[in-house]
Amino acid sequence: MISPMKERYFLTYNISNLAKDLIQSEYHLRRMKKGAIEGGHANCVVKHSLHEEGEAEEATSHALIVEGSEKSQKFKVLGDNIREFRKRIQKGNFDRDDAIRQVRELRSEFESFNPEFDVSQCESCGSIEDVLKQAKTLEPSVKEKVLNTPPSNRGYSDVKMKDAAVIYGASFGGKLLDEVVIPMLPAEADLLLTVGLAVGLPIIAQVAKLKGAVGTGVTVLGAYESTKLLDIAEQYMAPTTVRAAVVQARGVVVQPNAVSRATTISKYVVTG
């Protein structure tokens, strides 16, 4: 005869495996494409369901010894429901989302008498039913305060549109700066101004603690100018040597010659 301590150990093992396999069943279903799924294409779910059945059957026996007939019966009913679900999956032609809902119903059934796995008790998420109940119990003064709050403070759409406008405007300002202002400056000033804007503007926004549209605009303008740093760096890179029989670049053609020579085209040195 198995001691009650071992019965408890085996029951704990069964419960743990049930929780894991139910989660795995849902995970596998979510990895499948939406819509109808043919028979045999969800055999991974069938595998986990078979394991769930076996664990529920064993838990039925162990629970009868250490928990009593009521909990033992709950494991039996759960095992029967898992078996029915598994048979529907094996027949095929089922909808993925419907199958996910059925697995979640099985999980809820399991969690209802195994509270240590009940995710509805999680304070960070909880069930939607609990959220609705809490909403109904709000004090009238709180409800009135929420309803009387201006839409711009309650919603996010206005803020998002404003941010988009600021980002677009700052980008346009950077483009205007590059196309109109910077070309009028000497080359040295071009470099200093671009580096200064790219590095300095985000620092200024942080140090000055600029907020709202001004802070966003200054930071975006600096980020826009930083995209030019790579182009500037390329101008100061050593020319690259390329060997070729015939090279044509920007309308210049270099023909091979018996005498080795080097011709510089743009930032490339072409030898032949």
How far apart (Å, rounded) are the C-alpha atoms in residues 270 and 247?
8
List alpha helices for the chain, DSSP H: 4-30, 43-66, 69-91, 96-112, 128-136, 140-147, 151-154, 157-176, 187-207, 212-226, 229-235
Quick one: what percent of the chain has pLDDT higher than 90?
36
**Residue 156 pLDDT:** 46
Q: Residues 17-26: what's their mean pLDDT?
A: 96
Between the alpha carbon of residue 167 and those of residues 117, 207, 213, 216, 222, the distances in Å are 46, 20, 9, 7, 11
**Residue 157 pLDDT:** 46
Q: Does position 73 have pLDDT exceeding 90, yes or no?
A: yes
Contacts of 77 (CB under 8 A, 6+ apart): 109
Greater confidence, 16 or 246?
16
**Residue 129 pLDDT:** 61
pLDDT digit string (tens) for 194-232? 777 767 777 777 777 777 777 777 777 777 777 766 666
Residue 158: pLDDT band (50, 70, 90) is very low
Closest CA to 97 of 105, 66, 125, 57: 105
Q: Residues 32-53: what's their mean pLDDT?
A: 89
Q: Are strands 252-254 and 247-249 parallel, antiparallel or unpaired?
A: antiparallel
Contacts of 106 (CB under 8 A, 6+ apart): 22, 52, 78, 81, 82, 85
Q: Does position 269 have pLDDT exceeding 60, yes or no?
A: no
Greater confidence, 30 or 40?
30
Q: Residues 131-151: what's their mean pLDDT?
A: 60
Greater confidence, 47 or 150?
47
How far apart (Å, rounded) are the C-alpha atoms in residues 21 and 29?
12
Q: Does position 139 have pLDDT exceeding 90, yes or no?
A: no
**Residue 184 pLDDT:** 73
**Residue 52 pLDDT:** 97
**Residue 78 pLDDT:** 98
Reported pTM: 0.48
Q: In the predicted model, what is the mean pLDDT of the chain? A: 76
